[in-house]
Amino acid sequence: MPTRFAARKRAFTLVELLVVIGIIAVLISILLPALNKARETAMKTQCLSNLHQFVLADQMYMNQSKGWHVPGWTAFLLTPPSTYQPNSALTNNWSGNYLWRKCLNVPIVEGTDVAAPNSGVQAARFAQEFLPRKLMCPSALRTFAGGSGSYQPLTGDELVTPNGFYGMNLQGLENQSTVTHRVPITDPQCSQAIDPPAGYGHHGYSASQVKHASEKLEWIDGVNKVVNMDGSGDPSGSPTHAGTDPWLWPRDYDKIGESGTNGTITRSSAWRHRGYANVAFFDGHCESVRSDAIKQNAKLWEVVLP
């Protein structure tokens, strides 16, 4: 009898164990979505905080540059005269601007700086526009762990390229035939020894040119460090775009996913926060915006239009 009772007791214990395991499994299935959502919310909040630091640095930049926002685009001659900065100088882009980086309080990478062993970047000048990883969107799929998109200085935090994380609005700045948005000699890092030909030089916006600054996009979650309205996606959701420049808008972001294929996504925004993209506006505020309010929305992208 004792032996039979002990066996029955062991059987009951096994059943109870299976019940407990089943209860735990049910609880996990209930809690996991909530935990994932909380994690995504935290990453979205961190991303908004990063963009807020960008616009705060831009406001400081404007105070020292006679009301000009940090320039997002630079066009220099590919041939002599040698007084023009070489087109290969990566500091031409917004994230490499010396004064803006100083306002953001991030490391200034000099051409003579030395990378840590196995950093992946052979020359420091390639990392002059890189930013600390902690300032990049944590929800982005691209991690750039080493390789050409990552730079580890001998001292300090790892730096990564903004490509794959954030993009600055280039809408209206890409036409090299105009001098309307050519930044004057206000930023010492954007000095122009001589007045360049029409269209060349540093291109950006002054505060007086930006119409309805609270409605105009300056930075956004992006696949590229520079973005425009063509890369904002198709409101109809079509994966092809007949009649558009295939270099600017070859595929719809929604259809192809974030990582792209062999660079087929160009100047594209990214809705990586459950269908939303975080946006920094020219007036300095940041918010999450639904993808359908971003796609081909001229009121958002055309900075100088009312």
Candidate from 31-35, 67-71, 84-88, 288-292 with smallest mean pLDDT: 84-88
Between 37 and 9, the more confident residue is 37
Percentage of the chain modeled with pLDDT above 70 = 63
Is residue 166 very low, low, confident or very high in pLDDT (cuts 50, 70, 90)?
Answer: very high
pLDDT in tens, 97-132: 888 999 999 988 877 787 877 666 656 777 888 899
In a domain, 295, yes or no: yes
For residue 77, the 8-state DSSP code is -
Give mean pLDDT, residues 59-85.
69
Give mean pLDDT, residues 1-23.
64
Residue 31 CB contacts under 8 Å (≥ 6 apart), including other chains: none
Taken in order 132, 135, 138, 144, the sign of the CA dihedral is: negative
In a domain, 31, yes or no: no
In a domain, 208, yes or no: yes
Count: domains in the chain = 1
In a domain, 97, yes or no: no
User: What span, in angstroms and rounded, lies between the C-alpha atoms of 293 and 84?
Assistant: 40
In a domain, 23, yes or no: no
Domain residues for 233?
A: 40-80+163-301
In a domain, 105, yes or no: no
pLDDT at 185 over 80: no
Give me 227's structure tokens.
């973005």
Give me 247's structure tokens.
């270099």
Give mean pLDDT, residues 251-268.
51
pLDDT for residue 7: 52
Is residue 279 very low, low, confident or very high in pLDDT (cuts 50, 70, 90)?
Answer: very high
In a domain, 232, yes or no: yes
Is residue 56 very low, low, confident or very high in pLDDT (cuts 50, 70, 90)?
Answer: very high
Candidate from 17-21, 31-35, 143-147, 218-222 with smallest mean pLDDT: 143-147
pLDDT for residue 155: 78
For residue 84, the 8-state DSSP code is S
User: What span, in angstroms and rounded, lies between the C-alpha atoms of 26 and 143?
Assistant: 33
Q: Taking the model in full, what pTM does it have?
A: 0.77
In a domain, 94, yes or no: no
